[in-house]
Structure 1
Amino acid sequence: MEEEKNDKHYPDVDVVSRVSSDPTSARVDQTHRKLKGRHIQLIGIGGTIGTALFVQIGSALTKGGPGSLFLAFTIWSTFILAINNCLSEMVIWIPIASPFVRFADRFVDPALGFCAGINFFVFEAMLIPFEVVAFNLVLQFWTDKIPVAAVITIVLVCYALLNLFAVGWYGESEFWLAIGKVVLAVGLMAFTFITMIGGNPLRDTYGFRSWDSSKVPGAPFAEHIKTGSLGRFLGFLTCLIQASFTIAGPDYVAMTSGEAEMPRRTLPRAFNSVFYRLTTFFVLGSLCVGIVVPYSDPDLLKALSEARPGAGSSPYVIAMARMQIPVLPHIVNALVLTAIFSAGNSYVYCASRTCFGLALQGKMPQIFARCRAMVCPYIVLALPLPSLFWVSNNAAVVLQWFVNLVTASQLLNYAIISFTYLKFYYALQAQGIPREHLPHRSFWQPFCGYYAFIGTFIMAFVGGWTVFLPGNWDVPTFLFSYASLGAAPLLFIFWKVFRRTTWQRAEDMTFFEKEREQVDLYEDAYVAERHPPSGIFARIGDFIFA
């Protein structure tokens, strides 16, 4: 009876058994496809919008000015859009678990797949303790009486409940948490517009005063470290580095492909919406930050130097205090709290799915491929336990070293994705497979592949540029900025030598035929059973994000 129940409610389970029963088939995904279109849309937003957009962005503003900040975020959005184009075309045709890790394995070299998988896994896993501790710091905006260990334990238990039992729980939780991020982002944009035209207690119609060089010396392009044109360029470069670590999204959408309900229907909409999210949240968001407060505002500079907890260092909160608005800072801090929790939740999900994908490829012990028991989340959730030692200042410093150690990993991951797409693109040509036969074709290819690869590869080496300035050399900063870039080729060489892997030739490349057959059978079974959304909120969400 239990098996019949599974067949009824999880048609993909039956599909997996039919496909995997073929003795010639490779190991196929065993994940339940329970993420609906509305889940994926909001997971993409949840993985995209973080505290960096609301709080840390103020640091870049003080160094580059509003003009450099807006220009940097606009330019970097075009690189993320190019990465989105590369990912969407591959993932929609081959919607499997841990897609870009396994694509690098199949389309380039298994050694690159190993390198990409370990890089992304470590990057996501090491950010979990960072977000857990950030959650505690945001709480200190109101009180510091709650024991740190208690806060960390509660957050980890919540992550465990949301990730260990069913992907549907994760999807629903991330859906509502991401809505909180959208409300915060849209609310702050509305706050900017209303107050800049005089809708504030002071009746101050400040408009674009922060951009006016006659009222704010140096605006809109501030000088950083040096003076003149070089100083303004360095200010812009600092803002571009901030943008490169703030803006994300396509990789989080791609990670849901192995558990997406009707992936070839829901994923195109999720990938296509990335453009609107980039424009709305990041480009307009960076513009708003440069409007509400001058880059040289003394209160902002003081808040950053004192590292005020929670939203205390946010340019928006600084502006609210200046305009004598007493309640909004608390609302902003509460929503930032949910944003941090959502970010950590996303990192647990992505890290565990990457671990699962590596196990499917034989790059991690096979026990991690046991999907029903979901062993991977246990491993991932064990990694933040050292954050309990943040009660000690020394442990806090050590943990921050690990966070800094992987800051270039995201850019390295994007470079690998772009390079993998170029191999995929030319393999289609070599084997005479028209792109018109793909279920989704992205635009401006292969230009987007080259554009994204060059941009992300160069920026990966730019992050620690300040150590090369005269008198600024610092060994720890150099190591923390570039150690991950040094580790990547070592991982590649290790797997290349250890497994004697072969660089994939375009003429011989295969395109996950068994996995695509699995998806075809699943979608046919799903359409035949027709699963309507249950519950009024689910119906409303499906209608809005369909």
Structure 2
Amino acid sequence: MEKDKQEPSTEASPVLQGDEDLVRGSVTDITSGSQSLHRSLRGKEVQLFAIGGAIGTSLYVQMGSAPPKGGPAGLFIAFVIWAGVMWAVNECFAEMVSYLPVPSPFIRFGSEWVDGALGFAMAWNFFLNMAILVPFEIVAMNIMITFWTDKVPVEAIIVAMIVLYAFLNTITVRYFGISEFYMSIFKVLLMIGLFLFTFVTMVGGNPLHDAYGFRYWKTPFVEHLAPGGTGKFLGVLSCLYQASFSITGPEYIAIVAAETENPRKVLPPAFRSFVWRLLVFFVGSALCIGIVIPYNDPTLLAILGGDMGGSGTGAASPYVIAMQRLKISGLPHLVNALIMTSIFSAGNGLLYSAARTLHGMSLEGHAPRIFAHCTKKG
């Protein structure tokens, strides 16, 4: 009977060639052609990137378009539902990517474990999605600057952002890691500040001494496109669409896997921190927006309807509208400035993801081989 037992296969997966150390949590060799990627991202940088990487304008500004359609409760329920979906996705990513921290991992897993056609479709879909969103963030930066002035040439902003993105993404991955580390700190501090603003003002800590509490939750749901319960259900679905656009992130952690020091030690805590980001930042922000502003706020509706300027800038942020209603000066300018750091960081991360995805596609034969080449600094 003992002779009939087969020894476990020690043959490496086609995706992961070379020695692997399960004790130290390091991978010494990845796959043919990708050795020039350097594992230069440190644990603290990956942790901050995991926490703040996907925090962008949608969390500060674009979420304001959801309450008029679904109400405060509809917005909160939608974000809880989608956070649950993303939690499941995150757990799957955490297991597979920590085991095989290769370039463009979750994309290449489709070819490795399902079918090459799936991997090809996933790769090009994700690459085009990331690449197309980079100009979106550049345009968003230009719009945010109009919060103060419209005299800055659009061409100057576009050129400046392209040059900065190229510098941070083409020299060495260390520049990308350091820049995202500090910008993620700014984004996290901004979210904490907005949460404190919500709590302090709702209990009366504002120039008007208005302890509004949960006043705007008296109408928890809003009818959207249809009357009665059907309209309220459609309102929640509309908020769910906004949640699906706002809550992203585990794919960004996966993308940095091939350039992370000791990935099997660093990546699991990073994926775990994403769960807390879901609960605290995304669900918490959905709750706070329903607290600080009514779903039928005249200023918000005027901006969304195009009757008032400020669409796409900090002026459209529910927090900024609440600050202006409560006669709080100075803070709107600070919030707008910090939102701009989030926009720049989002574009930086999108370009990084697009470039690394194209590199992984080239290694799989789904893109021209020239994109498999890396510089000496990775």
TM-score normalised to structure 2 length: 0.90
- Which residue is 2:81 aligned to? 75
- Which residue is 1:150 aligned to? 156
- Which residue is 2:357 aligned to? 354
Distance 1:301 1:15 in 2: 55
Q: Which amino acid aligns with 2:334?
A: I
- Which residue is 2:63 aligned to? 57
- Which residue is 2:273 aligned to? 273
**Consecutive unaligned residues in structure 1, runs of 5 or more:** 1-13, 21-25, 213-218, 376-546
Match of 2:66, SS state, is helix
CA deviation vs aligned residue, 1:484-537 (integer Å, no higher than 9, x gap): xxxxxxxxxxxxxxxxxxxxxxxxxxxxxxxxxxxxxxxxxxxxxxxxxxxxxx
CA deviation vs aligned residue, 1:298-324 (integer Å, no higher than 9, x gap): 111112222514111111111000000
Where do residues 328-367 of structure 1 align in structure 2 (5 Å cutoff)?
Answer: 328-367=331-370
Alignment CA distance shift 1:125-1:374 (3 Å):
farther
Q: Which amino acid aligns with 1:319?
A: A
Distance 1:272 1:15 in 2: 24
Residues 1:91 and 2:89 aligned together: no
- Which residue is 2:52 aligned to? 46
Q: Which amino acid aligns with 2:112?
A: R
Distance 2:35 2:223 in 1: 52
Q: Which amino acid aligns with 2:199?
A: F
Match of 2:305, SS state, is helix
Distance 2:243 2:282 in 1: 9
Distance 2:44 2:76 in 1: 30
CA deviation vs aligned residue, 1:396-442 (integer Å, no higher than 9, x gap): xxxxxxxxxxxxxxxxxxxxxxxxxxxxxxxxxxxxxxxxxxxxxxx
Kept in 2, the 8 Å contact 1:55–1:311? The answer is yes
Q: Which amino acid aligns with 1:154?
A: A
Where do residues 317-466 of structure 1 align in structure 2 (5 Å cutoff)?
Answer: 317-372=320-375
Which of 185, 191, 197 is 1:191 aligned to?
197
Question: Relative contact order, CA 8 A, sep 6+: which one is greater?
Answer: 2
Task: Count residues with an aligned counterpart.
Answer: 349
- Which residue is 1:247 aligned to? 247
Kept in 2, the 8 Å contact 1:47–1:248? The answer is no
CA deviation vs aligned residue, 1:7-42 (integer Å, no higher than 9, x gap): xxxxxxx955xx88xxxxx44543100111111122
- Which residue is 1:297 aligned to? 297
CA deviation vs aligned residue, 1:95-125 (integer Å, no higher than 9, x gap): 1110011100110111111111100000000
Q: Which amino acid aligns with 1:200?
A: N
Q: Which amino acid aligns with 1:248?
A: T
Kept in 2, the 8 Å contact 1:46–1:346? The answer is no
- Which residue is 1:495 aligned to? none
CA deviation vs aligned residue, 1:365-399 (integer Å, no higher than 9, x gap): 11111111699xxxxxxxxxxxxxxxxxxxxxxxx
CA deviation vs aligned residue, 1:311-354 (integer Å, no higher than 9, x gap): 11111111000000010000000011000000000001000000
CA deviation vs aligned residue, 1:204-263 (integer Å, no higher than 9, x gap): 000000001xxxxxx110111111000100100000010011101110000010000110
Distance 1:45 1:142 in 2: 30
Distance 2:270 2:50 in 1: 7
Match of 1:331, SS state, is helix
CA deviation vs aligned residue, 1:246-285 (integer Å, no higher than 9, x gap): 1011100000100001101100000011111000001111
- Which residue is 2:182 aligned to? 176
Displacement after TM superposition at 1:296 (Å):
0.6
Alignment CA distance shift 1:29-1:357 (3 Å):
farther
Kept in 2, the 8 Å contact 1:46–1:342? The answer is no
Q: Which amino acid aligns with 1:122?
A: L
- Which residue is 1:132 aligned to? 138
Residues 1:285 and 2:305 aligned together: no
Kept in 2, the 8 Å contact 1:209–1:291? The answer is yes
Distance 1:31 1:53 in 2: 32
Residues 1:107 and 2:113 aligned together: yes
Kept in 1, the 8 Å contact 2:98–2:268? The answer is yes
Alignment CA distance shift 1:253-1:15 (3 Å):
closer
Displacement after TM superposition at 1:44 (Å):
2.0
Match of 2:371, SS state, is helix
Match of 2:61, SS state, is helix
Distance 1:15 1:79 in 2: 34
Kept in 1, the 8 Å contact 2:33–2:373? The answer is no
- Which residue is 1:167 aligned to? 173
Distance 2:28 2:89 in 1: 31
Q: Which amino acid aligns with 2:153?
A: P
Match of 1:48, SS state, is coil
